Amino acid sequence: MKIIKSIEEWRYIFKKHKTNGKTVGLVPTMGALHGAHISLVGHSVKDNDLTAVSIFVNPTQFNNPDDLTNYPETWESDVAKLEAAGVDYLLYPAYEDMYRDNYRYKLIETEYSGDLCGTARPGHFDGVLTVVMKLLNMTKATKAYFGEKDWQQFQLIKDMAETFFIDTEIIPCPLIREKSGLAMSSRNKMLTTEELERAPLFNKTISSGKTIAEMKEELTSLGFKVDYLKKKEGRIFGAVFLGKARLIDNVKI
């Protein structure tokens, strides 16, 4: 696996692969990799000649500075996992290189991004859409892979790619859970042992078939701070705080 920091170098490399008719799969991440990321990589490796993973903790999508400070970093184990998963390129840009304009230009969606997670995290999806558009433009990937845990993120990215005539096909991949039912997330690393034992009750509660009001009450009594719970598009979406972590999940009704 080749690790590339320079954006110029990677644009050159991917242009060459494109010219040679190779398909490229891109898996954008913020590092702290776990089984769900590796499952996205698995889809990409199966579908494409080459797979690139980006690790970039994107500051513009953190509306809460503490969340950025506490975001886990596990570089060495990330590299080992990606090597083992058969990744060809690891893209690792610096902030100054990604945001040469210091975020003077940004992408703003005006409807769906203000719902669900967007209500509680103003500006979050502007940061996500802006960085993903940059990554897609730099790599000109054939396909890019996103998990369905971040359902709203996937919908917005797919819509953005269509709206701006970006050639990359945006591929959704199933949400991956721990055996306990807890959705895999980099933020689970922020939980204490006791919180980690309690965290699966979030999924259990939103899968219980109870009313939203009952679920909220139950989660609150279990020590979660409910950010939102909402029925939409045949699913229940939720975000809760547990200790330092903000956890999200969604289940089909």
Which residues of this protein are in contact with ligand PAF, per CB under 6 A? 28-30, 58, 61, 128, 131-132, 150, 153
Q: Please, which residue, 88 or 126, has the CB nearer to ligand PAF?
A: 126
- CA angle (137, 138, 141) in 5-degree steps: 75
Give Cα separations from 40 to 46, 143, 179, 203, 204 (angstroms).
10, 11, 18, 21, 25
Residue 129 CB, nearest approach to ligand PAF (Å): 9
Q: Nearer to ligand PAF by C-beta: 44 or 153?
A: 153
Helices 7-19 & 124-139 angle (0-180, nearest 10):
50
**Of the listed 17, 34, 37, 43, which one is catalytic?**
37
> For residues 142 and 153, which CB has a smaller minimum distance to ligand PAF in the complex?
153
> How far is the C-alpha of 7 from the C-alpha of 94, rounded, in Å?
9
**Smallest gap, in angstroms, from Cβ of residue 132 to ligand PAF?**
6
Nearest distance, CB of residue 211 and ligand PAF, angstroms:
30
Pick the closer one to ligand PAF by CB: 131 or 226: 131
CB of 28 to ligand PAF, least distance (A): 4
43 flagged as catalytic: no
Distance CA 45, CA 218 (A): 41
How far is Cα 134 from Cα 49, in angstroms, rounded to an integer? 22
Q: Give φ, ψ of 183 to 5 degrees.
A: -65, 130
Q: Which residues are annotated as catalytic?
A: 37
